[in-house]
Amino acid sequence: MKRSFAALFLVLALSPQASHAGVTLDGDTCQQVFDNPKAENISCHTGFQLDQITRSKLQTNSFGLISDLSCSAQIKARRSEVIGKVHTGGDVHLPQQEVQCRVLSGNDPVNVRFHLAPMVRLDPAGKAVDARLGVRDVTGIPEPMATAVAEFLNGEPTLRQSLIEAANEIIPNLPKR
């Protein structure tokens, strides 16, 4: 399975190596939308669940307050706008998206929302060399849990590397200028 362009928005690897990336996809409809080159207005759904290793990291980083996290998002963007930003190079700031998550704290599920505004840094050759998730505005849970979720998602190296890998798989297949 090739990676979906939605990976640039939700920062998750969408390949058979998803377990290596720390996540598995859940309910993704973006692949078919992004595979259609005539679809200018993107509107699709994607989501993820953490694998066991990443859940353990989250629990450790949140001092045991959070034991699991699964998220979904309705992705909306204009294809030409995103492709134009990629062709410009440098720091590519992708459109902000709202993400809904179910956080497990103890045995209690809690609904959480946040904004995701990813940035992918491209070198002069057009290869992704760095990425930031840009998680902010976490609502639905009290501090310090909100900070723990944002810091974990923004700083977790496996998720950042997944975005870099996804971008490097996607970029060569984008239409040329």
Question: How confident is the model at residue 45, as a pLDDT?
Answer: 85
- Determine the Cα–Cα distance for residues 177 and 172; give it in Å rounded to an integer: 12
Helix axes 157-170, 145-155, angle to 10 degrees: 50
pLDDT under 50 in the chain at which residues? 1-20
- Determine the Cα–Cα distance for residues 120 and 171; give it in Å rounded to an integer: 11
Question: How confident is the model at residue 3, as a pLDDT?
Answer: 38
Question: How confident is the model at residue 47, as a pLDDT?
Answer: 84
Instruction: Please name the residue that has the structure tokens 């904004």.
Output: 115
Strands 97-105 and 91-93, bridge-based pairing:
unpaired
* Mean model confidence pLDDT for the chain: 79
Model's pTM, two decimal places? 0.72
